[in-house]
Structure 1
């Protein structure tokens, strides 16, 4: 949590300097197609993808005077998650389970990337690469109307407690590109590749987030 607060203050400090030449502030909103990859040793499996959303603001800062190289950061609310058929779980029950188990998570995410701006008349093409840090603020697993919290421990009564499934922190790589028309209208697309094992007790089994994203935006 302290690391995330420091990131927010760093972003705020950048925004305080906005208005000087070359700097860009914009808003973004769009669609995520998310997944969770599980692995144990050499075996791995991907859950079914789910659609979610992203929304937030972006800030760009020139890094060099002679080259169109920019630092890009911001603050987003972004969805993560996946789903799987309950019948795919072998839980040892006498009756066969059916239906979807859905994992829905929301993160506050701070990306830090470097982009190169290719300007062709009124169009700017901006490939980028960098990292991101995400802090989970909401997480639910749903199955046939029942819900379980993914980030918080659940009190089962009589002193018993069910531990949280996932860690709140996520860290990974971001690859993508922006296309800006007439200096204001932005289309972004890319992929966030989670590197951290988000399972709370993931000594043998590991789980990592992944998300394709596309967003529309406006640069002020």
Structure 2
């Protein structure tokens, strides 16, 4: 049996290891994990910049990777506690973005300011327990290559945004967006699609 399997199969040991990694009631790793463990586990491409004031809540039991020549701006938060986070090459993660896995972001993706992309939801079905302590549910978010998402958008769990799509500022994306589309609103709906036969963006 592997060490990881042994930890998972023993509730007391699992709880103790969890405490070693994460302070009780918090969603960020201890300082020693951030300084001594994560740099050797998670992958950062050449020429990528992660600003000093970015909050990288990364844990060794889930994956994080970011490609080359990408940037994560100040005051963004990246959290892989409940799901892997993957960011491609030449991607721009804007000021004060929040990204909670499981999330996959492609190449040349441009995220403006104050965007929330979260693959996490809390259960609420048991009315005898507050949602805060109920089981979490995760669904993969995929943002394909060349997507541009405007400021103050929300992308909800389970959504795929197709290649070279544009999401207008302030939109809430609750359903998949097809490639080469422009979507706006709450909930976001497609208002334009690219027509390859006429080489133009056409209203829907």
Normalised by the length of structure 1, the TM-score is 0.20
More strand by percentage: 1
Greater gyration radius? 1
Using CA pairs under 8 Å that are at least 6 residues apart, name the structure with larger relative contact order, 1 or 2: 1
More helix by percentage: 2
Normalised by the length of structure 2, the TM-score is 0.21
